[in-house]
A = this chain, B = another copy of it.
Amino acid sequence: MEGASTVVSGFLAKLWALVDDSSTDDVIGWSRNGQSFSILDEQKFAKELLPKYFKHNNLSSFVRQLNMYGFHKVVAVDSGVAAPEKTMTIEFQHSFFKQGEPNLLENIKRKVQSPCFHGHILW
């Protein structure tokens, strides 16, 4: 029995598996002492890794899901003009997504699509 299991929704379970799999640490893995995760090779991640877990190979769809679940991008201080040879990494964080603590995952909730009204009248 490993970390994220049955109770967690599909996306979160796959995200955890993706990040926690040490065999793909050159593409995506934990960072900042396990407090966030980083995509190190954006292109390889989108085209090779994503389709193994999801029905697409678009980074934008992956990011849309991250935002739906309350993750936030971590901005790098030294991100100026794209240094030609510098590997631009993408980093995301969620207060309940931490290395070694899959039990926290159940606190992460997907945002609900805002209905027209929450009160008496509902279209």
Determine the distance from Cα of A56 to Cα of B56 in the docked complex, in whole angstroms.
11
* Shortest distance between the CB of A55 and any CB in chain B (Å): 4
Q: Is the CB of A82 within 8 A of B51?
A: yes
CA distance A88 to B25 in the complex (A): 26
User: Which residues of A approach B to under 8 Å, CB–CB?
Assistant: 4, 6, 10, 13-14, 17, 43, 47, 50-57, 59-60, 74-75, 77-82, 88, 115-117, 123
Cross-chain pairs A/B with CB under 8 angstroms, 20 sampled: A4-B77, A6-B74, A10-B75, A13-B75, A14-B78, A17-B78, A43-B47, A51-B81, A52-B78, A53-B79, A54-B80, A54-B81, A55-B55, A55-B56, A55-B80, A57-B82, A57-B88, A60-B60, A115-B116, A116-B116
What 10 pairs across the A-B complex have the smallest Cβ distances?
A116-B116, A55-B55, A51-B81, A52-B80, A53-B80, A57-B82, A43-B43, A51-B80, A17-B77, A51-B82
